[in-house]
Amino acid sequence: MSAPLPPALRRYAGHPFWQAVAILVLAYVLVVWVVPLLPGSAIVPKSVVLQYMVTVLVGVLIYVSDSEARWTRFKEPINAMLVEPRLRVVRSGVLTAVTAVVGLVAYGQVKTTVAAPPNLRSIHPAPPTEITFRGKSITLTGLENPLRQHADSLPTYLAEGKQVYYRNCLPCHGDHLDGLGHYASGFNPLPANFQDNGTIAQLTESFVFWRVAKGGPGLPREGTPWNSAMPKWEDFLTEREIWSVILFLYDQTGWKPRTWEKAESGGAK
Amino acid sequence: MTGGRAAGRTGGRMLALAVLLSVSPTVLLSAQDTTAGKKVYVKWCAGCHGESGAGDGPAADAMLPRPRNFTGAVYKIRTTASGQLPTDADLMRAIDEGLPASAMPAWKGRLSDAERRDVAAYVKTFSAFFSDTSQHIVPLKFASAPGGGSGAAALKTGRLFYDSIGCRKCHGDQGRGDGPSANTLKDDAGFPIFAADLHQSWRFRGGASVEDIYRRLRTGLDGTPMPSFSDLIDQKFLTDEELWRLAQYVRSLSPAQPPDVRDVVHAPQIAGAVPASPNDSTWARVDRYWFPLVGQVIRKPRWFAPAVAGVWVQAVHDGKTVALRVSWDDRTQSPDTSWLAFEQRVLETMANDDSIAPKAAPWPDQLAVQFPRHLSEGMERPYFLMGSATDPVYQWRWTSQPARVVAGLGRGLEQFDTLPAAPAGQAAYDHGEWRVVFTRALATPDTGNEVQLAPGRAIPMAFFAWDGSSGEHGSRMAVSTWYFLALDRPTSPTVFVSPVIAMVVTLGLGMLVIARAQRRAAGV
Amino acid sequence: MHKQLGLVGALAITVAAGGCGGGGQERAGAESAAAGSTAVAQAAEAPAAPGAQGGATITGKIKFTGKAPANPAIDMSEEPKCKAKYTSTPHEEIVVVNPNGTLANVFVYVKSGLPANATYPTPATPVEIDQDGCHYKPHVLGIMVGQTLAIKNADGILHNIKAKGVKNRPFNISQPTTMTSNRTFTAAEVMVPLECNVHGWMHAWLGVLPHPFYAVSGTDGSFTIKGLPAGTYTIEAWHEKYGTQTATVTVTGSETKTADFSFAAK
C-alpha cells in the first residue's frame, strides 16, 4: 500500500463481501482479457471461462464461510439489500435483473435453432502399414526418411524441400508453417499447424509421408476425408520431393521427428 | 455533438501517431546489425521475396499481387509523399501487421521484436536509395478527420469528388473495380493489377479505416496505377476536408465490420411466394451470410489467382419452395472481349500446372451451389471438391453465357452429368455485382439424385465461382468448404411458455426471500 | 458520361469560386506558357556551359530504312473531350517517320567524353510536358538533373502521371483538372518512362542528364547539339522501339561536325 486509502474506500476494501466481488471481477478480467495476451495462448472458450469462475466462486465461499464472524459480515450487505428501506430501488433492480436473466437463459434453452453438426474427427488416424505410391509399394512401419542417410547431401535436400514447400504448401500452411496461409480461412478443418507440438512433433516421418502422399482423399473415415482440402501430393510430387519437404518441415520448425526405436523421444524442440 | 466527440478522439489518436512517427524513424533501424537480419530474412522471407530481394522467390509466381521487390525500394503503403522512401515505421507496420488479402502475414507474435527490427534493417540494404543521405524521408502531415463522416451530407460531398476527380475511371461507378480503364492496369513491373474493390475494405492492403483510406489518397500506392492526390491539396484545387469526405464515402461502401463467417445460412419461412427475382425487395430484409472463397489448389491444373473473394448468401422458404440468392463482386460481365488482353497477362503471370500455358479465351462467368444427394444422419458427406465417382454431389450451376441454370451430379472435377430437372434461376449484373436467385421445390420427384430439402435440418452446402475474364474455367476457380443451409420453422408461441413460467417462479421466490428477510429483521 | 462531365465542370467552377484556387489556376497557366517557349528554345540551342561559349556543334539526321510499322489506333470513346481534338482516328507515337524518310522522337545525347569534374548550371526555366488530347506533348524530351519538370494538364480531365525511373525515385500523381505539377529528378537516367494509367496508350520518355548536351529529332529528323568544348565524344541515339546506336565524334573550337544515325525497321 503506497498511499493510505480514504476511509470510505478502506471500509469497502476490508469487507469480505466486497473482497469477494473484487476477486470475482479480477478473475474474470484475467481469464477473458489477460490470458489471451500471453504468448502462445488463444481466446478462452466460454465454457472454460464458466468453469474457472465457478471454481473461484466456490473457493471464495469456502473462505468466507470458514469463520462464523466472517460469514456474518459477508452476509451483511446481502441482508441490507433485502431489508433496508433506503435500498428499495436497488432491491427492485436486483429482483428485476435476476428475473430477466432467468427468462433469457430459459428462452435460449428452449428456442430451437439449427446449428452445424459437430465435426468429430480423428486428427491423427492410424496409418496403414503399407501404401502404394505411384504403383510402387512402400511399407510405412519402421520406415525412416531415406534422405537422412546421406548426411553430406542434407543441405541440398533441404534447399529442395524449401522450394517444394514454397511452391506448393504455402497457400494453406503459411509462411510461418502455422497453418495460417492466405487460403487457410477458406477451409475447414484448418490446415495443420506444424509449429504446434501436436502435429509433426508427435509423428514419425513415415506418417507424415503417408499424409502428404495420399492427402485428404486417403484418410480413413474417422479422419473425415470429405472435408479435408489436403491434396493427394503423389499426383504432383516425386517420392524424393516429399521426403525433402518433410526434412524442411522439421528443420524450419526445429521439431525432431518421432523415431521408431524410441518413440518417446518425439516432441523435443 | 457526437460528430465533434468522434473528431476529438480521432484527433487524439492522430496526435499519438504523429508523436510516434516523429520519434521512431530516426532511432529505430539506423544502427542495426544486418547480419542478424539476413539470417531471419533467408529463413522466413526469401521463399517469397527471393534471396536477392527481387520479389522472385519460389512462391512468387503463385501469388497475385506478387511479393514486393525490395531492390527498387518502391513501397505501396507509406506515410510519405509519392516518390519518397517509406519511413521505418511504415516498413515495421507492414512486417508487424502484414498486408490483408495477400500472402504477407502479420509477423508480430511470429518473430520477436528484435528479429522483426533486424529484418526490416536488412530489407533496406537491398536498395541503395536507403543509404542515399539526400533522400528525405518525412511523413506527410495529415490533418485529422472532420466530424460527421457518416452523415448523408458528408457522403454526398465524398461521392461528388469520387466522380469529379475520376475515381470511377478505374474503380468503377459503384466502386467494384470495374471502371473503363481497369482492364489496362499493370504495376511497374508489368504484372496485371486489379483496381481495388471498394466494397471489401477488409481486403485493403493498407488497412480499412477512414484514416488509412485518406492516407492512401494522399500518398498514392507507389509502383501501382494509384496516384497521390496531394498536389490537389497543395494547389488548393481540393480542400483537405473534401479529401476526407471522399475517404469517408469510400469507407461507407463496405460493411462497418469485416464479415463474420457463420457456418449456417438460416432461411426464414415467409408468408406468400418466395422471391424469384434477384432484385426483389424481400432480399433487403433477409439476413445475408458471407462465405470466403479461395483458389482451387487441390487438383491439377491448380489456380492461384481466384477472382471471386467470396459470396454473400441469403435464403428464404415458404414451406414448399426455397429461394437462394447468391451475390458476388465480379468486375466483368463475362464473356467480355475487351478483357482478353488482361486475361492473357494474368494467365502468363501465374504459375501453371499444364505443360502449355493456357491461352486467353472469352469464358463465361459461372457459379455452382453444391449439396449432397441425400441428407445422412451421420456427419458423412461427399468430398467437398465436387464429389467423387463413387459418391457424387448434387449441384446447381449457373452460367452467364448461355444464360441458364442446370442441375446435375458432380463426380469429381472431371465429370458433371446434367439432370433433366433444373431449379429456376434468374441473374442480374449491376455495376460489378452478380446476383443470382435459384428457386426449387423442397421436395422433388427424383429423390435418388436431387437433395430433398426439409426444415429443421442442417443441409450441407458449398459454393464455387468462376470469373471468365480472369481466365477461370474448369478447375481454375474459387472454391469453398462445406457450409450449411437451415430452413427455419416459424417460431411457435409455445416456445415462450417455459421462459415465462421460469420468470414467474423466480420473481415469486425472490419476493418470498425478501419478505422473509424483512419479517425476520422486524422480529429482531 | 454526360453526368460525369457535368461534375468535372462543377469541380472547375467550385475551384474557380474557391478564392485563392482561382488565382492559382491562372498563375499556373501563365507560368506554363512562359515555360513552353523556353523549352522550345532550349531544344533548338542547348544552353551554353561556362567556358564553352560558342563551342563546337554536332548535328545530324536520323535516317530510317524499311517499312514503318503502323502505330496502334487509339479508341478515345471514353474521353469525348480528347476525341473532339482529332479529326481522324488518333494513333500512338511509337514509330514516327517523317515525310522526308527520317525518324522523329530520337533522343540524342553525349554519353561520355565530357571532362570528369565539369559541372553545368541547372537552368532556372522549367521543362514542360503537356497532356493534351490524351497525348503527351512532347513524346520524348530531355531535362537536366535538378531542373524543374512542369507537368501540365491542358485536357482538364483526369490524368495521372507516373514516372517509372529506376535511378530516380518513381512517383505517381493525380491531375483530375487543369493544373500544373512540378517535379525534379536527382540522378542521370536515360530514359525515365512516363505513363498515364487512366489512358493506357499515353507514354512519354524523359532523358535526365547532368549536362545540357542533348537534343530530340524533330519533324525533319535532324538534331543539333551546341556549345560543346573541344574533345572526343560518344554520342548515343536512343529510340523507344529500335534501341540505341552510338557514334564517336571529335570536335575542336567552334566547328560543326555531322553525325548521322540510321535505324532500320525490324
All residues of chain A having their beta carbon less than 8 Å from the beta carbon of residue B101 are 182
Residue B458's CB: how many other CB atoms inside 10 A? 18
d(CA B68, CA B104): 10
Instruction: Identify the pLDDT of residue A217.
Output: 94
The three three-digit cell numbers of residue C265, written as one number: 525497321
CA-based nearest distance B101→chain A, Å: 7
Instruction: Identify the pLDDT of residue A3.
Output: 60
Burial class (CB in 10 A: 0-12, 13-18, 19+), B43: middle
d(CA C177, CA C187): 30
Of A58, A78, A110, the position where a domain reaches its end is A110
In the predicted model, is pLDDT for residue B181 greater than 90?
yes
Chains B and A physically touch (3 or more Cβ atom pairs below 8 Å): yes
Say if residue A139 is in the same domain as residue A259.
yes
Say if residue A180 is in the same domain as residue A143.
yes
CA-based nearest distance C234→chain B, Å: 28
The three three-digit cell numbers of residue A72, written as one number: 456474518
All residues of chain B having their beta carbon less than 8 Å from the beta carbon of residue A87 are none
The three state secondary structure string of B29-80 is: CCCCCHHHHHHHHHHHHHHHHCCCCCCCCCCHHHCCCCCCCHHHCCCCCCCE
Say if residue A63 is in the same domain as residue A161.
no
* Each residue's pLDDT tens digit, B280-335: 999 999 999 999 999 999 999 999 999 999 999 999 999 999 999 999 999 999 99
d(CA B273, CA B424): 14
The three three-digit cell numbers of residue B440, written as one number: 426449387
CA-based nearest distance C194→chain B, Å: 11
Residue C179's closest CA among C6, C44, C11, C2?
A: C11
Instruction: Identify the pLDDT of residue C210.
Output: 96
Instruction: Identify the pLDDT of residue A265.
Output: 46
Q: Which residue of A has its CA nearest to B309?
A: A186
Lowest mean pLDDT across A5-9, A165-169, B475-479: A5-9
A11 is a domain residue: yes
The three state secondary structure string of B165-177 is: CCCHHHHCCCCCC
Give the C-alpha distances (Å, rounded to integers) separating B110 from A195, A253, B116, B293, C136.
10, 12, 9, 26, 49
Q: Are A83 and B382 inside 8 Å of each other by CB?
A: no
A124 is a domain residue: no
A118 is a domain residue: no
Q: Which of residues 465-494 of B touch A (CB under 8 A)?
A: 479-484, 486, 488-489, 491
CA angle A64, A68, A74 (to 5 degrees): 45
A166 is a domain residue: yes
The three three-digit cell numbers of residue A136, written as one number: 510402387
Which has the higher per-residue pLDDT, C253 or A41?
C253
Say if residue A92 is in the same domain as residue A155.
no
CB B354 within 8 A of CB B301: yes
Say if residue A147 is in the same domain as residue A175.
yes
The three three-digit cell numbers of residue B227, written as one number: 496516384
A115 is a domain residue: no
Residue C94 φ/ψ, nearest 5 degrees: -70, -50
Q: Which residue of B has its CA nearest to A163?
A: B58
Q: Which of residues 147-166 of A touch B (CB under 8 A)?
A: 162-163, 165-166
The CATH number for A188's domain is 1.10.760
Range of the domain at A87: 7-110
Give the C-alpha distances (Å, rounded to integers) separating B1 from B4, B10, B153, B277.
5, 14, 16, 42
In the predicted model, is pLDDT for residue A169 greater than 80?
yes
d(CA B365, CA B308): 10
All residues of chain B having their beta carbon less than 8 Å from the beta carbon of residue C162 are 225, 227
Strands C189-195 and B310-317: unpaired
The three three-digit cell numbers of residue A133, written as one number: 505410391
Residue B232: pLDDT band (50, 70, 90) is very high
The dihedral region occupied by A215, where left means phi > 0, alpha psi between -120 and 50, and beta the remainder, is left
d(CA A231, CA A173): 12
Q: What are the DSSP calls for B314-340, one per residue?
A: EEEE-SSEEEEEEEEE-S--SS-GGGH
Say if residue A87 is in the same domain as residue A187.
no
All residues of chain B having their beta carbon less than 8 Å from the beta carbon of residue A229 are 298, 384-385, 481
In the predicted model, is pLDDT for residue B254 greater than 60?
yes
**Burial state string for C15-38 with b = 16 or more CB within 10 A and e = fewer than 16:** beebeebeebbeebeebbeebbeb
Residue B507 φ/ψ, nearest 5 degrees: -60, -45
d(CA A116, CA A121): 14
The three three-digit cell numbers of residue B5, written as one number: 466527440
Q: Which residue of B has its CA nearest to C151?
A: B231
Of A62, A78, A110, the position where a domain reaches its end is A110
Instruction: Identify the pLDDT of residue A7.
Output: 75
Say if residue A93 is in the same domain as residue A201.
no
Question: What is the enclosing helix (H) or strand (E) of B491?
Answer: none
All residues of chain A having their beta carbon less than 8 Å from the beta carbon of residue B298 are 215-216, 229-231
- Mean pLDDT, all residues of chain B: 92
CA-based nearest distance A230→chain B, Å: 7
CA-based nearest distance A204→chain B, Å: 24
Q: Which residue of A has its CA nearest to B520?
A: A83
A151 is a domain residue: yes
Domains of chain C: 2-264 (2.60.40.420)
A106 is a domain residue: yes
* B168 touching chain C per CB within 8 A: yes
CA-based nearest distance B395→chain A, Å: 16
Instruction: Identify the pLDDT of residue A116.
Output: 85
CA-based nearest distance C12→chain B, Å: 9
Instruction: Identify the pLDDT of residue B224.
Output: 97
A117 is a domain residue: no
Instruction: Identify the pLDDT of residue C52.
Output: 46
d(CA B414, CA B412): 5
Say if residue A42 is in the same domain as residue A145.
no
CB B276 within 8 A of CB B323: yes
CA-based nearest distance C107→chain B, Å: 23
Say if residue A179 is in the same domain as residue A70.
no
Q: Which residue of B has its CA nearest to A222?
A: B380
* Each residue's pLDDT tens digit, B42-95: 999 999 999 999 999 999 999 999 999 999 999 999 999 999 999 999 999 999
* A236 touching chain B per CB within 8 A: yes
Residue A80: pLDDT band (50, 70, 90) is confident
Three-state SS for A138? Answer: strand
> pTM here?
0.83
* A89 touching chain B per CB within 8 A: no
Q: Are C171 and B82 inside 8 Å of each other by CB?
A: yes
Q: Are B43 and A252 inside 8 Å of each other by CB?
A: yes
Say if residue A151 is in the same domain as residue A34.
no
Tens-digit pLDDT string for chain C (266 aa): 444 444 444 444 433 333 333 333 333 333 333 333 333 334 434 444 444 468 999 999 999 999 999 999 999 999 999 999 999 999 999 999 999 999 999 999 999 999 988 999 999 999 999 999 999 999 999 999 999 999 999 999 999 999 999 999 999 999 999 999 999 999 999 999 999 999 999 999 999 999 999 999 999 999 999 999 999 999 999 999 999 999 999 999 999 999 999 999 98
Instruction: Identify the pLDDT of residue B28.
Output: 53
Residue B433's DSSP bridge partners are B329, B430
Q: Are B495 and A110 inside 8 Å of each other by CB?
A: yes
Chains A and C physically touch (3 or more Cβ atom pairs below 8 Å): no
Residue C252 φ/ψ, nearest 5 degrees: -135, 160
Q: Are B482 and A114 inside 8 Å of each other by CB?
A: no
In the predicted model, is pLDDT for residue B98 greater than 70?
yes
Q: What are the DSSP calls for C207-253, one per residue?
A: EEESSS-EEE--TTSEEEEEEEPSEEEEEEEEETTTEEEEEEEEE-T
* Each residue's pLDDT tens digit, A47-74: 888 899 999 999 999 998 888 888 988 8
Alpha helices in A185-262 (DSSP H): 205-214, 239-253
CB C187 within 8 A of CB C210: no
Say if residue A106 is in the same domain as residue A14.
yes
* B48 touching chain A per CB within 8 A: yes
In chain A, the number of structural domains is 2
All residues of chain C having their beta carbon less than 8 Å from the beta carbon of residue B337 are none
Q: Which residue of C has its CA nearest to B169?
A: C198
Say if residue A95 is in the same domain as residue A172.
no
Q: Are A102 and B503 inside 8 Å of each other by CB?
A: yes
ipTM comes to: 0.88
* C78 touching chain B per CB within 8 A: yes
Q: Which of B231, B239, B337, B345 to mutate to test the interface with C (most CBs of C within 10 A)?
A: B231
Q: Which of B103, B292, B500 sits opposite A186 (nearest CB)?
A: B292
Q: Which residue of A has its CA nearest to B496?
A: A107
* Each residue's pLDDT tens digit, C76-112: 999 999 999 999 999 999 999 999 999 999 999 999 9
All residues of chain A having their beta carbon less than 8 Å from the beta carbon of residue B499 are 103-104, 106-107, 110
* C152 touching chain B per CB within 8 A: no
CA-based nearest distance C164→chain B, Å: 7
Instruction: Identify the pLDDT of residue A47.
Output: 81
Q: Are A229 and B110 inside 8 Å of each other by CB?
A: no
All residues of chain C having their beta carbon less than 8 Å from the beta carbon of residue B228 are 171-174
CA-based nearest distance C204→chain B, Å: 15
